[in-house]
Amino acid sequence: MLTAGLGGMILGLALRPAPAPVAPPAESVQPSSPALTEQLAALRQAIATEQARLDALTRARVAAEAQLAAAQRDASQRDPAPREAGPREPTPRDVAREAAVREAQARREVAAVAAAPPARPARPEPAAALASGPRVFVHYRGGSPAAAEAASTAAALLRDSGFEVSDLRTVQSVPAQRVVRYFHAEDAGAAARLAGRLGRGWAIQDFRNFEPSPAPQTLEIWLPER
């Protein structure tokens, strides 16, 4: 029985497959023939050539990306903001602002026209009339009974004082205070005497720069609305 057991063990060991031989490391393999050496050399050369080509492609890609980034920077510096396709439509606020500006301008023009005295052409006067003394023209607001009465009272007072009242004229706009206007330097004294005859509260206005200038010895009285 022991013999049979030993025999079985020996038979089992004989039937086990032999272990596979372990291959030596690749670097330890030595070429066994000149043909294998040439093949290895050609393979190494092909690998080096392919690596060089890949390196060249990488450098070309990097250069192309750098050029693209530079072009984009230049484009953004030349035109940083997108241009509008056309003129901007005015908003209601813009329309209201423009209307207010036009209305203010129109008001200023109307006020300037109303404040300006009416233009009168220069008229030559006979020498006898010039020698007689200043001629006075009384101006008052048309359509106002009180202003008309004040103008008549002032004209009567001046006639009693020896002044020649040539005419009473109605106008659309009058100053805020009572004034006497003269148009020539030699008439300044006569304007002062006229204002003194009328009483206190009369101002004297120098209109020597007014064009067209009336004839010498012309004085004007302007009565306020009230």
How much is the pLDDT for 87? Answer: 62
How much is the pLDDT for 85? Answer: 55
Kindly tell me if the per-residue pLDDT of 41 is higher than 70: yes
Kindly tell me if the per-residue pLDDT of 150 is higher than 80: yes
Residue 190: CB atoms within 10 A of its CB come to: 19
Distances from the Cα of 102 to the Cαs of 90, 105, 108, 111, 113, in angstroms?
A: 16, 5, 10, 14, 17
Domain definitions of the chain by residue range:
133-222
Which CATH number is 133-222's, of 3.30.70.2390, 2.60.40.10, 3.40.50.1820, 2.40.160.40? 3.30.70.2390
How much is the pLDDT for 116? Answer: 52
How much is the pLDDT for 80? Answer: 55
**pLDDT, greater one: 80 or 39:** 39
Q: Which pTM value belongs to this model?
A: 0.43
Cβ proximity of 176 and 204 under 8 Å: no
Mean pLDDT confidence for 174-197: 93
Kindly report, residue by residue over 5-30, the tens digit of the pLDDT.
545 555 554 555 555 555 555 444 45
